[in-house]
Amino acid sequence: MLNKKLLSNILFSMSCVFISFTLASCSTHQKITPLPTPIITQLKAQPLGPMLPIPVQGISQKQLSDTWGVARSHGRKHDGIDIIAPRGTSVSSTTNGVIASLKPNTLGGTVVWIIGPAGSWHYYAHLDTLARGLYVGQQIKVGQRIGTVGNTGNAKHTVSHLHYGIYLDGKGRGAVNPYFYLYGRR
């Protein structure tokens, strides 16, 4: 029969091992994946066309609303447009490119960042799901499915929609109104 002190020490040691294992397996640190430099260089040399396909399946130009610049919480402005669609509707890439990030964030929830032509960054946010098998560094073709419409992140109490943004000066920098790229008038 084990004495109480020995039993206490064993249980404490087992608890420490369990907590250490849990912390290690739940770590938010993600492995940094280098992006394919030759492909990024090729993309930067290509122009970003004046018209891009609408990224949400079944949505027409007439259904788009220009929500660019609308006031948001904490004094922010809307750096994209919202495309309303039922949860689970397919979302596709508007350009050829490379997946630069799949890391979820507080505002966008489940997101995809794609580096496209002219070094443009394309942001797809509030996704319900990601397409199976997506990974950082993966080459993407225009029209390739990347996920489905949802309301994750700060949109959890709103109607399902895709937030789509275009940035011309790097990830999250140099936002431009994507409405005109999708609607075809600038």
Return the structure tokens found at 110.
């489940």
Supply the mean pLDDT for the chain. 85
- Cα separation, 87 vs 128, whole angstroms: 7
The SS3 call for residue 181 is helix
Which value, in Å, is the radius of gyration of the alpha carbons in the chain? Answer: 21
Kindly tell me if the per-residue pLDDT of 37 is higher than 90.
yes
| 85 close to 161: Cβ distance less than 8 angstroms | yes
In this prediction, residues 14-43 reach a mean pLDDT of 61
CA torsion, points 28, 159, 166, 112, in degrees to nearest 10? 30
Say whether pLDDT at 179 is over 50: yes
Higher per-residue pLDDT: 186 or 32: 32
Domains in the chain, please, with CATH?
Answer: 37-183 (2.70.70.10)
Task: Supply φ then ψ for residue 181, to 5 degrees.
Answer: -70, -35
Q: Can you give the pTM of this predicted structure?
A: 0.81
